[in-house]
Structure 1
Amino acid sequence: MTISDLNSEDYNPFYKSYIDYNGDSTLLESLSNGLLQIDHLFLTLTESNLKVAYAPLKWTIAEVLIHLADTERIFQYRSLCFSRGDNTALPGFDENAYVPNSNATNRTLISIKEELIDLRKSTLSLFKSFSPEQLKAKGLASGSEMGVAASGFILSGHLTHHFNIIETRYLKK
């Protein structure tokens, strides 16, 4: 499945920029590429980088990375529910409320890297388990309809988006 297989009812327009990061890759290629992105980024990070924010009142790198972990879990759950035909409307989440309670400031570089790798491997396993019909399933999250495949592409693009921000604003590459 590629993004050309999605239609406008599969996701809220808010997520289009995340989906567009995937280009012509298949869903599983996009999700797998995230593992390479994680490895690549963590080659350039140090423990001291984790505490860096690029401006006052902005998240630190550690907080951005834990936000990615939180989002991965939430979108996994959404995908699981929708793929199983659960019609429960799922709530949104306020990432700005999650960050202060994330314990990001007490995390090590290796613990965050391992968590992100484990989560992405889990996401890959979940999406590999879906049938073509399950990938087309939809549900309601954050007040909008969302498709299972779209949620995977969103996760992939979300990681790329935040890694680009880390590299350009925090590490100034």
Structure 2
Amino acid sequence: MKKSQLTKGEFGEFYSGYIDRLDDEAELISSLQDNTEEMIEFFKSIPSERWNHRYQPDKWSLLDMVQHIIDTERIFQYRALCFARNEQKALPGFDHDLYVLNAGAEHRTGAGLIEEFKAVRQSGIYLYKSFTDTMLKIIGNMNDVNASPRAIGFIMVGHAKHHKDIIKNRYL
């Protein structure tokens, strides 16, 4: 399944900024796999003394940022699973600032978060490999926005790329 096969109505306008970060010919599973390696290598390149850095006092640290990426991966994977199983109820949004505030990332290490990201993403790849083409196209509602599991997979990749760019531009 390629990004170019997504149709109107499979994701909200807000998520276009994430999906547009991928080439039209990007394939779903290989994009998830390649992005996993890309993110792990990038995270490993961050000097240990930078993990607690905040580019402004009121902004997230790098530990917070990576924890946010992990939390968001889990939430998107849950949403994709619900939609693939034809959940009819709308799924709620989440307050990412509240999640970061309560995650305790300041007690974590960069190495620990890298391993957790790898495990969470790998779990998501297995989940996506289990979906049939029909499952990938089922539309559900998340936070008052319609989305399909296949769109959510591309959103996950774009979300990680988005935060990688923020880290490169503001933290390193």
The equivalent of 1:135 in structure 2 is 136
Q: Please list every run of at least 4 consecutive aligned residues from structure 1 whose deviation after the TM superposition is greater than 4 angstroms.
A: none
The equivalent of 1:170 in structure 2 is 171
Superposed CA deviations along residues 137-170 of structure 1, whole A, max 9, x for unmatched, are 1101001111110000000000011011111211
The equivalent of 2:118 in structure 1 is 117
Q: Within 1, Cα distance between the matches of 2:138 and 2:106?
A: 38
Q: Within 1, Cα distance between the matches of 2:82 and 2:103?
A: 24
The equivalent of 1:108 in structure 2 is 109
The equivalent of 2:82 in structure 1 is 81
SS in 2 for 1:145: strand
The equivalent of 1:93 in structure 2 is 94
SS in 1 for 2:51: helix
| Displacement after TM superposition at 1:42 (Å) | 2.3
Q: Tell whether 2:32 aligns with 1:54.
A: no
Q: Which amino acid aligns with 1:162?
A: H
Q: Which segment is superposed worse, 1-10 or 87-96?
A: 1-10
| Displacement after TM superposition at 1:48 (Å) | 2.0
Cα root mean square deviation, aligned: 1.0
SS in 2 for 1:92: coil
Q: Within 2, Cα distance between the matches of 1:102 and 1:31?
A: 25
Q: Is the 8 A contact 1:31 1:152 kept in 2?
A: yes
Q: Is the 8 A contact 2:44 2:114 kept in 1?
A: no
Q: Within 2, Cα distance between the matches of 1:155 and 1:80?
A: 14
Q: Is the 8 A contact 1:46 1:109 kept in 2?
A: no
Q: Which amino acid aligns with 1:125?
A: Y
The equivalent of 1:31 in structure 2 is 32
Q: Within 1, Cα distance between the matches of 2:99 and 2:128?
A: 25
Structure 1: where are the runs of 5+ without partners? none
Q: What is the percent sequence identity of the aligned residues?
A: 39
SS in 2 for 1:10: coil
SS in 2 for 1:67: helix
Q: Tell whether 2:63 aligns with 1:71.
A: no
What is the number of equivalent residue pairs in this alignment? Answer: 171
